[in-house]
Structure formats: C-alpha cells, structure tokens
Chains A and B, each alone.
Chain A
C-alpha cells in the first residue's frame, strides 16, 4: 500500500515537474531571444549611423552616445541575467532595444538631412560655377569690344598721321 502511494507520489511529482521545467526552459529561451533581438537592433543601428556618416556632413556625436548607452544597457542586462535577476535583466534588454531603435530612426533622418544638404550644396555650387562662367564670358566680351574699338581707332589714327608727311 505504502509502495503504491510512493509510486503515485512520484508520478504526480514527475507530472508537476515536467511542465515547470518546460516553463523555465521557455522563459530562458524567451530571454535569449530578447537579448538576441536587442543585439541585432544595436548592430542595425550601428549600420544606420555608418550610412549617415558615409553620406558626409552628418553630425553623428549624439548617435554615438545613444549607441554606447544601448550597449551599456545590454551589458547590464547580461550581468543581471548572470546574477539571476531575470525581471531586471529583461527590463535592461528592452531598454537596449528601445534605445538602439531610436538611434536607428534618428540615423535615417540624419542621413536624409546630410544627403539633402549635400544636394543643396551641389546645387549652390553649380549656380556659383555657372554665374562665374557667365560673368567671365560677359566681362571678356565687353573688354574685347572696348579693346577692339580702341585698337581700331588707334590703327586709323596711325594711318592718318603716317601718310601726312610723304604726300607730294
């Protein structure tokens, strides 16, 4: 009788422990997924900031600060996880994810701003170049006209003055 009771107790405990174990494993896997997503988000934000930097003229100092804050939050999350403080670890990982997502969004805007700034600078440079060329051509033409008139006058004067004394 006592053996049967023990057997039932063992069976009950096994059935109780299996879902508990599965729940713990699922929670760990969920935690790992969250950490992997935060890590991926940081890498993606880094790529976005690099693109903004490559566009030229973008001030990325705030973005770099944001990336470092996200990396620190993720490092803190891992430390808390090692210490078994799961809830705080999840909160820190979520913070890393949110910080890096913000950085990524801002980096896209920075890139667009830098590119539109570059386009504007290019447009201004073309206008400046065209104005300079037009001014040079116009001034050249005017100067040439004046010179030609002056030269013609000089040549005509020379003919008149030169032929005078040899006339019979």
Chain B
C-alpha cells in the first residue's frame, strides 16, 4: 500500500474555488489548510508559512529541498493514521508602500499575529500587478533524525497586492 500525506488549501467557502487573489492592505482574507495522514502510523507535522516574490525560489520538487525563503510562522499538528487535521488561516498584509515599479510589504498578520516580512516585489508588466505567493510547506518529524524534515509537499496562493 502506498504511504503518503494529502495536503490541501481551500477557499473561504471551504471549497476549491474563490481563492483570495487581489489583496489590499489590512483587508483580511481566509483560507483553510488541511492534512490527511496515510503514512500508516501517527505522524507529527509542521506547517511552515512563507511569503515570496516571483523572483524567489519555490521548494524544489525533484531534490525534495524546501524553499530557502525564511519561514514566517509554523503550525504543528499530530495526525493519527487516516485522520484529518484542518486549520482556518486568516491573513492580511499591512505596512505596504507602493511606488512606481515597486511594492514593499513590511508586515503580514496571520491568525491575528503581526509578523515582520520586508519583501519587495517589482511590477509585472505582463500580468500587470505586484505578485507575491503565500505558500505552506509540509514538514514531517523524523524520530531517527530527532527533528523535522521537508516532506516534499507545498501548497500556495498567488496574491496581487494593490493599494
């Protein structure tokens, strides 16, 4: 039997639609992030929340390497075999300064907690916007290593930050 973990992000209506896209400063958005464990035993997961611009790298799926972008926040969850864990994630950007050609996001509020970001995005001429990707990396506790290791799964949302 194949052993794996299901990992998803759902929109505010708890469906795979209406994902937040255009975001304005201090305007809260909601998504749901969930895990289903098919690893054959109780598992200890860490969910690392990261924000990147288009130029910053995503996790490498071939090399099973996480993104080098620093983690802003971490959720932890224990999920029994065939069990499900899901959490509502409310986020908003704040301290956003827009100037011709660049957008600087200084902060992200995640489930009510203000986090320092300092991320600068350049204007995308083709797609006409300042794009950021909010993504969640899945990490799994490895008892042999005595720590978490990247579980080679991530889900993300593209955000167009405007004034």
Q: Mark B58-80, 1 if CB is under 8 A from A, else 0.
A: 00000000000000001111111
Q: Nearest Cβ distance between residue A114 and chain B, in whole angstroms?
A: 14
With A64-B78, A71-B76, A71-B77 in contact, do A47 and B143 touch (Cβ < 8 Å)? yes
B97-130 residues with Cβ-Cβ distance < 8 A to A are 113
- Chain A residues with CB under 8 A of B80: 60-61, 64
B42 contacts chain A at the CB level, 8 A cutoff: yes
Number of interface residues of A (CB under 8 A): 17
CA distance in complex: A2, B85 (Å): 69
Closest Cβ of chain A to B34, distance in Å, is: 14
Q: In chain A between 51 and 77, which residues have their CB closer than 8 angstroms to a CB of chain B?
A: 53-54, 60-61, 64, 67-68, 71, 74-75
Name the residue on B nearest A72 (C-beta).
B76
Q: How far is the CB of A83 from chain B (nearest CB, A)?
A: 8
A133 to B141, CA, bound (A): 48
Instruction: Scan A94-133; emit 1 where CB is below 8 A from any B CB, else 0.
Output: 0000000000000000000000000000000000000000
Q: A46-B141, A47-B143, A79-B113 are in contact. Are A67 and B78 (CB under 8 A)?
A: yes
Does B41 count as interface, using CB distance less than 8 angstroms? yes
When distances are taken between beta carbons in the complex, the residues of chain A under 8 Å from B79 are: 64
Residue B13 is within 8 A (CB to CB) of chain A in the complex: no
Closest to B111 in A: A79
Question: Per a CB cutoff under 8 Å, which of B42, B76, B113, B143 touches A64?
Answer: B42
Q: Which residues of A contact B (CB under 8 A)?
A: 43, 46-47, 49-50, 53-54, 60-61, 64, 67-68, 71, 74-75, 79, 82
Please give the residue numbers on chain B whose beta carbons come within 8 Å of chain A beta carbons, in ascending order.
41-42, 44, 74-81, 83, 85, 113, 141, 143, 146
